[in-house]
Chains A and B, each alone.
Chain A
Amino acid sequence: MQTRRHPFRFASLIAAGLMLSASPPVFAQESSTPVPPELTEQIVTGIMTRAVDDVIRPSYRAFQASAGKLAEATGAFCKAPSDASRKAVDDAFRQAVTDWGHIEIVRIGPVIDDNRFERILFYPDRKGTGLKQVQALLQKQEEKDTDAATMGGKSVAIQGFGAIEFALYGTGAETLMDKPDGFRCRYAAAVATHIETTAGQLVAAWDAPDGVQDDWKHPGPQNPVFRTGREAITALLGILVHGAEAVRDQRIETFYRNGGIARPKSAVFWRSGNTWTSISANIEGLQVLFDTSGMRELVDPNFASINENIDFVLKSLGHIAPMVDPDVEKAVSTPEEQQKINFLLVNTRDLILRLDAGYGGAIGLGSGFSFSDGD
């Protein structure tokens, strides 16, 4: 029988090459199968209200605020380039990446309307389409491209994090310090302002009392999003399952597969060294949604280990992700760092299974969440 391991001992265990999986502890209990909850209106509304009011809306607000600070810091840096103003930009960029990472896990609702998700982050850019567009734009130096107000009508690839990251950290970014108010810097500031605008649209959509928040909180026959409580709770679980899948498939395996060819320059935010900042924020976002929404209360108390194991794996992932070397090239080529990344891959896979089949089964999705996604 396995014993409970404290997550904060992982670093030494990994260093010793002793473990790959977080191996959640075996909790005593359980026979037969969990009794699915009765999804009463009160219970569903309670959980959905907490998810919306205590997680989703505050997260979008935080993201809007940090995007605003990034725009402000970048504008100030453009006017007076210095080591101090540059550091302010770096800090603001990292915070904006973090706050987006927290709410990025929500891939349904207003964020998928009008290509907002891609406007904020055009990734992966496998064929370098976005990169080429940004490079061409910086080459041409047309003043209209520094106008945040008209950016929304242009290619999504030149108006989000990928674009500003290249402007601030990509090839040629050292010229930003050369003179005040250079084109490249003003373009970066405009992109930051545009990200703030897009974030503001999301805040407004979620804050409208009769809009999406009401649809999420009150499933019913006339509801355009969720007709039943079961549909709403299933969608909430979908955020977790798809969010965990995205961390593994779209954020890590795009540049690193155990035993495969590493492509460090395909990693999200590799230029700014924020790859793991972003991935850690995704994991934190999953943890906050799982903890705060009260989803765990739906699981039969006799099967509490389903929640506890999810919690354990999330904490383990959240502990290891920030510890990976931010230099992605180094991370994918150093055995010790590779072990940490392998740990993340193995345990995101485990997390998906625990959410999908474990939690999904416990709340009444007999064959699990993903299997029920017919096609």
Chain B
Amino acid sequence: MRGAGVHSALLDRRSFLRMAGAAWAASLGARQSFALSRTDAVFASGYRDRDGSFGIAVLAEDGSIIDRTPLPARSHGMAFSPATGHLVAFARRPGTFALVIDQSGKAAPVTIAAAEDRHFFGHGCFSPDGRLLYASENDFDANRGVIGLYDARENYRRIGEYATYGIGTHDLSVSDDGRMLIAANGGIETHPDFGRTKLNLDHMEPSLALIDAATGALIERHTLPEKLRQLSTRHIDLDDKGRIWFACQYEGPRNDLPPLVGSFCKGEDLRFLSLPEETTLGLANYVGAIAVNRRENLVGLTSPNGGRFVVLDAKTGSVLREETVADAAGIAAAPHGFAVSSYDGRFAERRGDIAWDQHIAGLRR
């Protein structure tokens, strides 16, 4: 999962401070200022606090919390624009809010309400210039995924939507040049009348779609072979060559060992990675999040179901590291390797008593 809509180096502390502004830094307490002064990278993640309330936190690389913003309900994925310093937390499906936070503190938070007959699917991304926010959404009565387009210059007014050319859209990303949107259509039908119930497990339609960001036209659509029709293509990240890495969750028989990770470039067929059997078993047929570390050419995966964190060599696909992390949740590229969080309170080196949600956004530029 990508936190930002553009892809280059991680945002280091100095850059983050420049973007966030002196006013924001001055508002921090002593402990938070100390944490910020010592970190090489800055992250954001949704959380649930001890009292059951929800929020989004900005964290240092070591997992110490720098800042918190309360949210009305549980969030899921995030999008960050280094161009504007805006961070967006999307409600977890079938939620109907997204909260935009200006990290510079110059503007008040903006709450985006989902359009009528739409709900958020939990992910989105910014155009490289930060002017457009793209959100994955459900047109639930028509059972089709859409991309909501929001104009950041007009207080995030919804200015239109594109089709995702699939159903059960989940993650959404954009190419580095901003010309192409990538939609992970998980293929699972849901409807807010039935909560989070999966309505079509016996006839899923997973796909990955490349969409022209200027027109909404379909560029390419990759469906999965019949034997993998219950493999939900849910999360994506891009490497520095524009290769799209995708991670899956399998809804078929539990004793199957389907491929869970793959990659492709525009114009290519999907390539599934053949992981060792013990790695696939460890991931429990469920990859919850994926991240690419471009600098080190690594792909990281987490599985809460399997309690596993796996690092792959992006060039060869070989497993470089495999670690047991109970309730492994989010993952994002760090200056070295990955930052990994867990539902039970672990973030990088620290363990606290708030539960981290499924994704981490590396605040990049």
**Which residue from B141, B193, B253, B355 sits with its C-beta under 8 Å from A367?**
B355
Q: Are A250 and B194 in contact (CB under 8 A)?
A: yes
Task: Contacts A224-B253, A246-B195 given; indicate if A367 touches B48 (C-beta within 8 A).
Answer: yes
Q: Are B254 and A226 in contact (CB under 8 A)?
A: yes
Determine the distance from Cα of A113 to Cα of B195 in the docked complex, in whole angstroms. 18
| Min CB–CB distance A2 → chain B (angstroms) | 20
Task: Contacts A223-B255, A372-B327 given; indicate if A366 touches B193 (C-beta within 8 A).
Answer: no
Residue of A nearest to B287 (CB): A374
Q: Are B195 and A250 in contact (CB under 8 A)?
A: yes
Number of A-B contacts (CB under 8 A): 67
| Min CB–CB distance A333 → chain B (angstroms) | 24
Q: Are B194 and A114 in contact (CB under 8 A)?
A: no
Secondary structure of the A contact surface, majority rule = loop
| Min CB–CB distance B225 → chain A (angstroms) | 20
Residue of B nearest to A249 (CB): B195
| Min CB–CB distance A208 → chain B (angstroms) | 16
> Interface residues of B, CB < 8 Å — how many?
33
B138 CB-CB contact with A under 8 Å: no
Task: List A residues 292-332 near B (Cβ within 8 Å).
Answer: none
Q: Are A374 and B253 in contact (CB under 8 A)?
A: no
A371 CB-CB contact with B under 8 Å: yes
Determine the distance from Cα of A101 to Cα of B110 in the docked complex, in whole angstroms. 43
Task: Give A114-141 as 1s and 0s: 1 = Cβ < 8 Å from B's Cβ atoms.
Answer: 1000000000101100000000000000
Chain B residue numbers with a CB within 8 Å of A222 are 255
Task: Give B110-138 as 1s and 0s: 1 = Cβ < 8 Å from A's Cβ atoms.
Answer: 00000000000010000000000000000
Task: Give A229-249 as 1s and 0s: 1 = Cβ < 8 Å from B's Cβ atoms.
Answer: 001000000000010011001
Determine the distance from Cα of A114 to Cα of B249 in the docked complex, in whole angstroms. 22
Q: Are A250 and B355 in contact (CB under 8 A)?
A: no
Q: From A227, A242, A249, A357, name the one whose CB has the most chain B CB atoms within 10 angstroms.
A: A227
Task: List B residues 315-365 near A (Cβ within 8 Å).
Answer: 326-327, 329, 343-344, 355, 358
Counting contact residues on chain A (CB < 8 A from B), the size range is: 20 to 34
B308 CB-CB contact with A under 8 Å: no
B93 CB-CB contact with A under 8 Å: yes
Task: List A residues 318-368 near B (Cβ within 8 Å).
Answer: 353, 357, 366-368
Chain A residue numbers with a CB within 8 Å of B326 are 366
A177 CB-CB contact with B under 8 Å: no
A375 CB-CB contact with B under 8 Å: yes
Determine the distance from Cα of A375 to Cα of B287 in the docked complex, in whole angstroms. 9
Q: Are B344 and A375 in contact (CB under 8 A)?
A: no
Task: Give B249-283 as 1s and 0s: 1 = Cβ < 8 Å from A's Cβ atoms.
Answer: 10001111000000000000000000000000000
Chain A residue numbers with a CB within 8 Å of B358 are 374-375
| Min CB–CB distance B347 → chain A (angstroms) | 13
Residue of B nearest to A368 (CB): B355
B63 CB-CB contact with A under 8 Å: no
Q: Are A224 and B202 in contact (CB under 8 A)?
A: no
B144 CB-CB contact with A under 8 Å: no
Task: Contacts A221-B255, A227-B284, A372-B304 given; indicate if A367 touches B195 (C-beta within 8 A).
Answer: no
Determine the distance from Cα of A254 to Cα of B195 in the docked complex, in whole angstroms. 12
B7 CB-CB contact with A under 8 Å: no
A11 CB-CB contact with B under 8 Å: no
Chain B residue numbers with a CB within 8 Å of A227 are 254-255, 284
B222 CB-CB contact with A under 8 Å: no
| Min CB–CB distance B78 → chain A (angstroms) | 14
Q: Are A374 and B193 in contact (CB under 8 A)?
A: no
Task: Give B300-318 as 1s and 0s: 1 = Cβ < 8 Å from A's Cβ atoms.
Answer: 0000110000000000000
B86 CB-CB contact with A under 8 Å: no
Task: Give A209-228 as 1s and 0s: 1 = Cβ < 8 Å from B's Cβ atoms.
Answer: 00000000000011111110
Other A-B pairs, 19, CB within 8 Å; known A224-B253, A242-B197, A366-B344:
A107-B197, A113-B202, A126-B193, A127-B141, A221-B255, A222-B255, A223-B255, A224-B254, A224-B255, A227-B254, A227-B284, A231-B254, A246-B195, A254-B193, A366-B327, A366-B343, A367-B48, A371-B343, A375-B76
Q: Which 3 A-B pairs have the closest CB atoms?
A: A224-B253, A366-B344, A367-B343
